[in-house]
Amino acid sequence: MSGRAQLMWDEAVTGYDFGPDHPMDPVRLALTRSLVSAFGLDQEMDVVSAKPAGESTLRLVHREDYVAAVKAASADPAGADGAYGLGTVDDPAFAGMHEVSALIAGQSVGAAEAVWRGDVLHAVNFAGGLHHAMPGGASGFCIYNDASLAIARLLELGAERVAYVDVDVHHGDGVQAAFWEDPRVLTISLHEHPRTLFPQTGWPEETGAAAGEGAAVNVALPAGTGDAGWLRAFHAVVPEVLAEFRPQVLVTQHGADTHFEDPLAHLAVSLDAQRAVQVALHELAHEHAEGRWVALGGGGYAVVDVVPRSWTHLVAVAAGREIAPEAVIPEGWRQEVFARTRMLAPVRMTDGRWPVGWVGWEAGYDPADRLDQAVLAARRAVFPLRGLLP
């Protein structure tokens, strides 16, 4: 197995563009790619473009009639009327939508294949992580669910236990739905509570069904949760469940929209805490999955100040070339940001919160604390189903 990491990239993924007034501005992908280059990380990894996901691959997760509807809306965007979630405010139809969505899915599937074959230990597709797309419909800015497709491909290749950890501010509902009854896939999602945020799912009581009972884990965090609470919740749930499950591969989704500057949600997490979770997941991949790690992007709508820095840290962690939080961002990149967006770029790779402090669960909990209540609810719902003490 190669020790090198792989970065999945094709310039054409920036064509995933819902229009000038949509929050998911593809400039976030272009700026991330150029910041990765500014730090020389692309010299430390294999930069690869995979082919778009074909019909048979898409149908590992998506219904045939839905794929046909995406193709039709892609060819005639004006004809999309909201059926299958296409042509809505969240998911406007655009020309070429099928092709670019299949390309992004192909990068995640290609990443999974490379890691499973042993070509590389880690692979990153920060254009991926489109975790809301359902088997039969678009949802939440997501057309094809590349995360689910990568996992389905791993199962097709013979994986018996795949763990998926989603730290986007929104619940990873599409991935959970795709594997709701499948005991081979453990889905763990930490997200803002469904009472206050789309998609209004991800309650702790959602634990899977049939043979998959106990294979869905949901930690629903109160709005306003900051660094210490977010890290406490992560470490109170994720390592213990992963240790019991013993995954052969770890697939992770790193939506940057938990950040306090994100305009679409209500958590108060810093870039430094996001980096701490990236490091923790990298370590957990080595501890439980022999290092096999597929890392994806996701949400994130502070497209200049947050997303490029967060995902460049992710790429750096995967490449084994961590960037110090206090590192100064290269001037050339900052000039590019201003030229593209007329916005001032950040100066350093930190929000000034490093090192981030948090108190471990083993130190005890406060039953009156809302964050601890959220953790307790998740542990009580799923831990006994997995033979663990809540």
- Which are the catalytic amino acids? 132
Beta strands in 13-60, from DSSP E residues, in sequence order: 46-48
CB atoms within 10 A of CB 378: 27
| Structural tokens at position 27 | 């400039």
**By the 8 A CB rule, do 274 and 295 touch?**
no
**By the 8 A CB rule, do 252 and 167 touch?**
yes
| Structural tokens at position 284 | 């957990």
| Structural tokens at position 16 | 């995933």
Peptide bond into 355 cis (omega under 30): yes
Provide Rg for the chain, Cα atoms: 19
The span from the CA of 180 to the CA of 328, in Å, is 44
The span from the CA of 348 to the CA of 40, in Å, is 16
| Structural tokens at position 339 | 């030229």
The span from the CA of 180 to the CA of 174, in Å, is 10
Beta strands in the chain, from DSSP E residues, in sequence order: 5-8, 46-48, 122-125, 162-166, 185-192, 216-221, 249-253, 293-296
**By the 8 A CB rule, do 366 and 372 touch?**
yes
State which amino acid sits at residue 335: Q
The span from the CA of 57 to the CA of 113, in Å, is 12
